[in-house]
Chains A and B, each alone.
Chain A
Amino acid sequence: MQIVEGLLLLSLVGVLARMVRGPTPWDRLLAYNSASNRVVLVLAIAAVGAGRSTLLDITVVYVALSFLGVVILARFMERGGGNR
């Protein structure tokens, strides 16, 4: 399972590279969404590996908060925020 965790962290670095580079703000938002997805998976694997269900609860809250962030930022940019 640690191999899978390492591969997920590697792909997290790739997604963060797209976040730094992305030409449009929507690319950055997409990269944020994907990065939070990978963080959630790594957290879930770590929680099951350590046998702590508290970490799993933290993961559920993380999913809800990142979803809210992405949707609210997308609506904000849809209505012309950020001078784009």
Chain B
Amino acid sequence: MTSLILAGLGAAFVLIGTLGILRFDDLYSRLQASGVSDNVGAALILIALIVRNGWSWHDATLLFLLFLLLLTNPIATHSIAKSAFTRGHEGGESR
């Protein structure tokens, strides 16, 4: 039950992030929407999977996956933003 609530919350975060990626009208706003909400959604869903069938060595891989996602996702977002900024991409509307 708890795991279902956590996973539903995570899926809601991911869906809201998708809405932001689709509807915002600026590259940097879209980066913000993706970078923030994806992390929280992934963390919630993976924690829900860990909660679901108790602790075992099977879940150590899930914990490692969570650590890896939380480590790499901000780096990827930052590297995309840095690349766009270095190439002189102004903010502004671009749908």
Contact = CB atoms under 8 A, between A and B. Distances in A.
Interface of A: 1, 3-4, 7-8, 10-11, 14-15, 17-18, 23-24, 26-27, 29-31, 33-34, 37-38, 40-41, 44-45, 48, 53, 56-57, 59-60, 63-64, 67, 70-71, 74-75, 77-78, 80, 84
Contacts of A17: 22
Interface of B: 4, 7-8, 10-11, 14-15, 17-19, 21-22, 27, 30-31, 34, 38, 41-42, 45-46, 49, 52-53, 58, 61-62, 64-65, 68-69, 72-73, 75-77, 79-80, 82-84, 86-87, 89, 94-95
A34 B80 CA distance: 12
A41 B82 contact: no
7 contacts: A7-B14, A8-B14, A26-B84, A34-B34, A41-B14, A44-B49, A45-B7
List the 3 shortest-distance A-B pairs measured between CB atoms, nearest first. A11-B18, A78-B83, A67-B72
Contacts of B15: 7, 10-11
B21 A41 contact: no
Contacts of A64: 68, 72
Secondary structure class of chain B's binding surface, majority of residues: helix
Given A23-B95, A57-B61, A74 B82 contact: yes
Nearest to B6: A4
A74 B85 CA distance: 11
A10 B12 CA distance: 12
B17 A41 contact: no
